[in-house]
Chains A and B, each alone.
Chain A
Amino acid sequence: MVEVAAAKVGVTGKRRVYSVGRYGVALAALLMASAAGVMVGKARLDPGTVLAILLSRLPFTDFTPWWPASFEAILLEVRLPRIVMGGLAGAGLSVAGATYQGLFRNPLADPYLVGVAAGAGLGAALAMAMPLPPGLYSLGVVQLAAFLSALLTVGLVYSLARVGRSTPVTTLLLAGVAVGSLASAATSFVMYSQGDKIPVIYAWMLGGFNITGWQQVTLAAPPVVAAALVLSLLGGVANVLQLDEDQARSLGVNVELVKVVLIVCATLATAAAVARVGLIGFVGLVVPHAVRLLWGPDYRSVIPLSALLGAAFLVTADAAARLLPGPQEVPVGVVTAFCGAPFFLFLLRRQKRSVF
C-alpha cells in the first residue's frame, strides 16, 4: 500500500462546493421569481393582498377579507398551481439537462436528447387524435399518455443501444436521434390524418401552463422531486464520469449501473414536466451552463443549483409571457428562447475559458 500519509495542507484548489452562499442566491432568485409570478397577470395583485390572502389560510389567523373573492380564487386556484408547476418543470428540465450533459460529456446535450420529447409528443398526439370519451380528457389522459409514451421511447432507445453488457453513450445518442425521428414522423402522420386536431396538438407541443391546476401539480411533483434529489446525490459520481468510462471504472464506479440510474431519473423528471407543460425548449440546455459559469463545473453543486435556478428561470419566463401584449398568451417556450439565448451568450462572452 502506498504510504501517502497526512501532510499539512496549505492552499488548495478545492472549490467550496458546499458553501451556503450560492444556494442562498439561487433560493432568493426562486423566491423573487415566484413573487413576480404571483402578482403579474390580467388581475394585478399587490404584495400586501397576496400575503394577507395566504396568511388568512393559515390556522390561528383572523383577517377580515378586504379583497374581492375572485382575487382569492385567482391566487389559490390559478396563479399558485401555475407557479409551482412552472418551478417543477424548470427544475426537472434543468436537472435532466445537466445530467445528460454530464453523461454524454457533451455541452450540447439537452433533456430531449434520448427521445423524451418525441415520445411525449407522439403519446399526446395519439391521445388527442383518438376518439376517447370527453371525461377522460378532463382526467388528464393526454398528460398520462405523453408521460408513458416518453418513458417507453427512452426505454426503447436504451435497449436498442445496448451492445453486449454495456451501453456506449455514442450508441445511445445515435439510437435516441433515430428513434426520435421515427416518433416525430409518426406524430406528423397522426396530425395530418386527423386534420381537425392539428391546432390542438400543435398548441400542446408549443407548451404552456394554461391547463394547470393542483391536480396536475400533485401528479408531476413526485417524479420531479424524487429525480432531482437522487441526481443531486449522484453529483460526485457524475464528476468522475467526466473523465471517461475506463477511468471512472478504475476509480471504483459501477458505470453501467450509474448510467441506468441517471437515465431513469433524468427521463422521469423530463417526462413528468413535458407531459404537463409541453415541449419547452432552452431551459434544460442553458440553465446548467449558467450555473457552471457562475459557480464552476462540480456536479455536486451544478445539479442542485440547476434545479433552483431552472425553477426560477421558468417561473420568470412564464410571468413575462403573461405580461406580453397580444390577443393570446405567448407560449412560454418562445419567451425562454428569447431571454435565455442572449443571457447565455452574455455569460459565454464574459468568460472566455471553457466552462464545461
Chain B
Amino acid sequence: MESSLSLDKIAFRFEDAPVLQGVSLELSPGSLLGLVGPNGSGKTTLLRLAAGLLKPTRGRVILDGEPMERMSRSEIARRLALLPQNPNLPPSFTAWEVVMMGRTPFLGFLSREGAADRAIVGRAMEMARCRHLAERRMEELSGGERQRVIMARALAQQPEVLLLDEPTTHMDLQHQIAVVELVAELVRGGLAALGVFHDLNLAACYCTRLAVLSQGRLVAVGTPEEVLTPELLSEVFQVELCLTSHPEGGMPAVLPPGPRGNGQARLSPREVADLPGIGPHPDPLPGGEGVVESPLPEGDGRGVCEMDGNPERGRLRCSVN
C-alpha cells in the first residue's frame, strides 16, 4: 500500500550537534506507529520534522507522494494534524473556538466558518468526548480536558495523517485509554498515525508497529513482539526491566524490576555518605575538637575509639564492649 507519510534518510543537526541521523520510516494508512525511546533520544524532534515544523538538514519528508518542502502550510494542514505535547491555549477562548481553529486550513481568506464546519467541529468534539465542554473557557479546564479539546481540534482538521506527541500526558487512566482507543479506531478506519509514547505498555497494546529511537538513531522497527526484547530494552533504556506478556492479548508488557531491584541505579554506601547533609561534616571541626552525638550501641559503656583517615576529615570509629 502507498504510504501516507515517509521519512527518507532524515538527518537533523541543531547548532552543529547531531540530533537525528539517517532515520527512515514509512507510515501507511491504517497503521499506528509508536515511537519510543529514552528522554533526549530525538522523538519530539522527529515528530516536528514529520509535521514540517522543522526542516531536515539532510533527507526529506514525503506526504502523500509529494515532498513536504514543496507544499504550503495550509496544504500540509489539510492532510496532517499534530497533537502537541504542551500547547499554549489562550485562557479566555472557549473549547468550541479552539476546536474551530482546526478548520483554519479549510476556511477562506475571511475565515468565516459555515454550517458544515460547525457540524464537523461538533462531531469531532463528540468523538474526543469533550462536546459537553464546548462553552467552557480554556482556563477552566483541567490538563486532561485540554488534551481532549486539542484532540478534537486535530480531528476537526479531518487529517489523513495524525501525529501525536505523548497524547496521554496529564490524563486519568480512563481518558488515556479512551484517547488511545479512539486513535486505534480511527486507524482501523484508514488513518495513518505516528505517536510518541512514554508508556511502553500502552504503546505495545495499541500500536501496530513500534520504532525505537536511541541517541538519534533508529535502532529497531517492527511489531511490539519483535521490538520489545529484554536485550533491546536493557540496551536502550540502560536498566534491567521485567518483561512479561499481557494476560489477555499476549502482547509484551514491561514492568519495573520488582522490589529486590536490580542493583543498577543505586548509590553505593560510600556515595550516600558523601551526599551533602548526610555524609561527614564538610568543614573540619575547629581545633580538632567537637561533640558528636550518637546513640551508643548496647554494652557496658567501655570501649575503644580509633581514628582513620586524615586528621581533618577522618572518621572516629568507636566500638563498645
Q: Given A252-B104, A296-B92, A297-B93, is A13 in contact with B135 using a C-beta cutoff of 8 Å? A: yes
The 12 sampled A-B contact pairs (Cβ below 8 Å) are A1-B160, A2-B155, A3-B158, A4-B120, A9-B121, A14-B97, A14-B100, A239-B111, A247-B82, A247-B87, A250-B51, A251-B157
Question: How near does chain A come to B106, taking the closest CB pair, in angstroms?
Answer: 8
Secondary structure call for the A interface: loop
**A239→B52 CA distance, assembly (Å):** 21
Query: Could you say which residues of chain B place their CB within 8 Å of the CB of A252?
Result: 72-78, 104-105
Task: Bits for B112-154, please: 1 = Cβ < 8 Å to A, else 0.
Answer: 1001101111111011000000111101000000000000000
**Chain B residues within CB distance 8 Å of chain A:** 48, 51-53, 72-78, 80-82, 84, 87-98, 100-102, 104-105, 107, 109-112, 115-116, 118-124, 126-127, 134-137, 139, 155-160, 162, 186, 189-191
B112 engages A243 (CB within 8 Å) = no
Query: Could you say which residues of chain B place their CB within 8 Å of the CB of A233?
Result: 109-110
B118 engages A12 (CB within 8 Å) = yes
* B111 interface neighbour in A13, A237, A242, Cβ under 8 Å: A237
**A3→B187 CA distance, assembly (Å):** 11
**Chain A residues within CB distance 8 Å of chain B:** 1-15, 18, 105, 233, 235-237, 239-240, 242-244, 246-247, 249-254, 292, 296-298, 300, 353-356
Query: Could you say which residues of chain B place their CB within 8 Å of the CB of A5?
Result: 119-120, 123
Q: Which of A2, A15, A244, A355 has the most CB of B within 10 A?
A: A2
Query: Could you say which residues of chain A place their CB within 8 Å of the CB of B102?
Result: 251
**A239→B124 CA distance, assembly (Å):** 20
**A5→B51 CA distance, assembly (Å):** 25
**A254→B122 CA distance, assembly (Å):** 26
**A2→B29 CA distance, assembly (Å):** 11
A251 engages B77 (CB within 8 Å) = yes
Question: How near does chain A come to B114, taking the closest CB pair, in angstroms?
Answer: 11
Q: Which residue of B lies closest to A7 (CB)?
A: B123
Q: Given A4-B123, A252-B76, A253-B73, is A14 in contact with B104 using a C-beta cutoff of 8 Å? A: no
Q: Which residue of B lies closest to A242 (CB)?
A: B90
A12 engages B186 (CB within 8 Å) = no
Question: How near does chain B come to A328, taking the closest CB pair, in angstroms?
Answer: 42
A246 engages B53 (CB within 8 Å) = yes
* A251 interface neighbour in B75, B101, B136, B139, Cβ under 8 Å: B101
B96 engages A14 (CB within 8 Å) = yes
**A49→B88 CA distance, assembly (Å):** 56
**A243→B138 CA distance, assembly (Å):** 11
Query: Could you say which residues of chain B place their CB within 8 Å of the CB of A10?
Result: 122
Q: Given A244-B87, A246-B84, is A2 in contact with B159 using a C-beta cutoff of 8 Å? A: yes
A1 engages B53 (CB within 8 Å) = no
Q: Given A15-B97, A239-B101, A300-B111, is A354 in contact with B139 using a C-beta cutoff of 8 Å? A: yes
Query: Could you say which residues of chain B place their CB within 8 Å of the CB of A249?
Result: 52-53, 73
Query: Could you say which residues of chain A place their CB within 8 Å of the CB of B89?
Result: 243
Question: How near does chain A come to B186, taking the closest CB pair, in angstroms?
Answer: 6
Question: How near does chain A come to B249, taking the closest CB pair, in angstroms?
Answer: 25
Q: Which residue of A lies closest to B4 (CB)?
A: A1
Query: Could you say which residues of chain B place their CB within 8 Å of the CB of A14?
Result: 94, 96-97, 100, 118
Query: Could you say which residues of chain A place their CB within 8 Å of the CB of B75?
Result: 252
Query: Could you say which residues of chain A place their CB within 8 Å of the CB of B162?
Result: 2
A236 engages B84 (CB within 8 Å) = no
A11 engages B158 (CB within 8 Å) = no
Query: Could you say which residues of chain A place their CB within 8 Å of the CB of B137?
Result: 353
* A3 interface neighbour in B73, B107, B110, B189, Cβ under 8 Å: B189
